């Protein structure tokens, strides 16, 4: 059987649905090529001198790993020259990065978490890259885009995707026409389609949350997890299993593959922060993928994709995955408020 490459898929989409412009096709090709470069560096590990930390911290006050910074540079460099972008934003950069004047500018905005799961780099556990594409507002034409132009709800995303660097390197993508998955053929250097329609079952027996934060959670989250832990002997009348990789990419990849619910809720360690994960380049792209695969994504109160961002690096509480479970958690939050 001959399988489809990423390029074939994109050309087909461009021809059939008009859902994809030549610019967006180029954008996806370039981002996916950058992910190949990152995948190659990740796979070298200590042999490539890519492990360990730097002296620096990012804007969120997190120590930067060598691979965080390297991956950020790979993505910036790859995406500067193509003429498809107006600007980029990243977890690792305080402000937006405008396309330099020596290159033509396009109408799209690219946001990324260059390396997700930093705590797993040095222990050889799956990590990834997350990306989101927005269209610059029409009002920005003829001038440089600003940070304000990025602050659009996730429902306006044109493309969302991630690469996961695990036992296999995979690229998972949505252009708003379902979710497709590609596996990197390392010998050929090409992305080959291996999942043509990823779907999340509505029910699940698997949950994913950092249980060490239990004592800090809000009441609705505790109630929900307590019920799961009670298993067959409790009100849910079934046993649940737990998986926590601590790379959002890898945890979400698992639930896109076989269902599940993933949560990173608000907790009282830092009560003024709405959550740990970042809205614009973690929660939004993952929420679009999950919804496109038939799942749901909320912050406990409302649909994540409806949130109007107020800052580039803003954080958000995240509940996503199998629809019936996400709806239950959201209901518990609403009931607690009533
Ligand atoms: P990043 O490496 O981009 O900072 O993101 C790490 C995130 C996410 O991938 C994961 O779900 C979560 O942090 C893990 O957090 P803790 O294990 O510290 O709770
Ligand atoms: Mn991350
Ligand atoms: Mn990161």
Best residue among 246, 251, 255, 282 to mutate for probing ligand 1's pocket (most ligand atoms within 8 Å of CB) is 246
Query: 37 exposed, middle or buried (CB, 10 Å; 0-12, 13-18, 19+)?
Result: middle
Q: Is residue 76 part of a domain?
A: yes
With a 6 A CB cut-off, is 248 part of the ligand 1 pocket? yes
With a 6 A CB cut-off, is 264 part of the ligand 1 pocket? yes
CA of 65 to the centre of ligand 2 (A): 12
pLDDT at 2: 83
Q: Which atom of ligand 1 is nearest to the CA of 210?
A: 19
Same domain, 184 and 219: no
CA of 114 to the centre of ligand 3 (A): 6
Q: Is residue 135 part of a domain?
A: yes
Q: pTM for the complete prediction? A: 0.97
CA of 248 to the centre of ligand 1 (A): 6
CA of 286 to the centre of ligand 3 (A): 14
Structural tokens at position 123: 């222990």
Q: Is residue 1 part of a domain?
A: no
Extract the runs of DSSP E, i.e. beta strands, from the chain.
53-57, 63-65, 85-90, 97-98, 108-116, 127-135, 159-165, 169-174, 180-185, 190-195, 206-208, 241-242, 261-264, 277-278, 296-298, 315-316, 318-321
Same domain, 142 and 234: no
Which tens digit of pLDDT belongs to each residue from 135-158? 999 999 889 999 999 999 999 999
Same domain, 257 and 333: yes
Which tens digit of pLDDT belongs to each residue from 29-57? 999 999 999 999 999 999 998 899 988 88
Query: Considering only CA atoms, which residue is closest to atom 6 of ligand 1?
Result: 117
- pLDDT(18) > 80: no
Query: Considering only CA atoms, which residue is closest to atom 19 of ligand 1?
Result: 210
Same domain, 115 and 11: yes
* Whole-number Å distance between alpha carbons of 336 and 338: 6
Q: Is residue 200 part of a domain?
A: no
Same domain, 212 and 190: no
Structural tokens at position 126: 């799956």
DSSP letters spanning 327-338: HHHHHHHHHHH-
Which tens digit of pLDDT belongs to each residue from 226-246? 999 999 999 999 999 999 999
Range(s) of the domain holding residue 23: 6-195
Which numbered ligand comes closest to the C-alpha of 275? Answer: 1
Q: Which atom of ligand 1 is nearest to the CA of 212?
A: 19
Number of domains in the chain: 2
With a 6 A CB cut-off, is 245 part of the ligand 1 pocket? no
With a 6 A CB cut-off, is 72 part of the ligand 1 pocket? no
CATH of residue 137's domain is 3.30.540.10
Helices marked H in 112-176: 147-150
Same domain, 15 and 56: yes
Residue with tokens 């590990």: 45
Q: CB-side exposure of 129: number of CA atoms within 13 Å?
A: 32
pLDDT at 55: 83
With a 6 A CB cut-off, is 267 part of the ligand 1 pocket? no
With a CB cutoff of 8 Å and minimum separation 6, the contacts of 38 are 67, 70, 71, 74, 75, 114, 115, 129, 163, 165
Same domain, 45 and 73: yes
Same domain, 168 and 251: no
With a 6 A CB cut-off, is 250 part of the ligand 1 pocket? no
With a CB cutoff of 8 Å and minimum separation 6, the contacts of 295 are 200, 255, 320, 321, 322, 323, 326
Which tens digit of pLDDT belongs to each residue from 56-113? 888 888 889 999 999 999 999 999 999 999 999 999 999 999 999 999 999 999 999 9
Query: Considering only CA atoms, which residue is closest to atom 18 of ligand 1?
Result: 246
Same domain, 128 and 256: no
Query: Considering only CA atoms, which residue is closest to atom 12 of ligand 1?
Result: 246
Pick from 133, 162, 195: which residue ends a domain?
195
Q: Which atom of ligand 1 is nearest to the CA of 62?
A: 4
With a 6 A CB cut-off, is 275 part of the ligand 1 pocket? no
Same domain, 19 and 152: yes
**Among 14-28, 78-92, 173-187, 262-276, where is mean pLDDT lowest?**
14-28
CATH of residue 246's domain is 3.40.190.80
Which tens digit of pLDDT belongs to each residue from 284-323? 999 999 999 999 999 999 999 999 999 999 999 999 999 9
Same domain, 163 and 292: no
Pick from 174, 195, 216: which residue ends a domain?
195
pLDDT at 169: 98
Q: Which atom of ligand 1 is nearest to the CA of 277?
A: 7
∠ at Cα 256 (253, 258), nearest 5°?
105
Same domain, 222 and 190: no
What are the backbone angles phi and psi of residue 321, rounded to the nearest 5°? 130, -140
């Amino acid at each position: 059987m001959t399988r489809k490459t990423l390029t074939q898929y994109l050309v087909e989409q461009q021809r059939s649905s008009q859902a994809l412009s030549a610019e967006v096709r180029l954008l996806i090709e370039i981002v996916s090529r950058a992910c190949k470069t990152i995948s190659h560096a990740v796979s070298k590990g200590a042999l490539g001198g890519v492990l360990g930390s730097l002296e620096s911290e990012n804007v969120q006050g997190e120590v930067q790993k060598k691979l965080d910074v390297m991956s950020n540079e790979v993505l910036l460099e790859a995406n500067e020259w193509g003429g498809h972008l107006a600007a980029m934003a990243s977890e690792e950069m305080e402000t937006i990065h405008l396309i330099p004047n020596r290159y033509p500018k396009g109408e799209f905005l690219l946001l990324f978490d260059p390396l997700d799961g930093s705590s797993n780099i040095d222990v050889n556990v799956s990590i990834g890259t997350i990306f989101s594409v927005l269209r610059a507002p029409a009002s920005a034409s003829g001038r440089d885009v600003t940070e304000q132009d990025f602050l659009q709800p996730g429902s306006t995303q044109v493309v969302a995707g991630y690469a996961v660097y695990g036992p296999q390197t995979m690229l998972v993508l949505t252009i708003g026409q379902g979710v497709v998955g590609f596996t990197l053929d390392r010998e050929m250097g090409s992305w080959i389609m291996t999942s043509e329609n990823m779907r999340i079952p509505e029910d699940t027996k698997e949950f994913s949350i950092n249980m060490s934060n239990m004592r800090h959670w809000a009441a609705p989250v505790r109630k929900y997890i307590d019920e799961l832990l009670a298993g067959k002997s409790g009100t849910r009348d079934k046993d649940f299993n737990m998986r926590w990789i601590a790379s959002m990419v890898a945890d979400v990849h698992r639930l896109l593959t076989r269902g599940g619910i993933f949560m990173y809720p608000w907790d009282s360690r830092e009560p003024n922060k709405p959550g740990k994960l970042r809205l614009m380049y973690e929660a939004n792209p993952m929420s679009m993928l999950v919804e496109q695969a038939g799942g749901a994504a909320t912050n406990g109160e409302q649909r994540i994709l409806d949130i109007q961002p107020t800052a580039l690096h803003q954080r958000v509480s995240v509940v996503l995955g199998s629809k019936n479970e996400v709806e239950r958690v959201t209901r518990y939050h609403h009931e607690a408020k009533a």
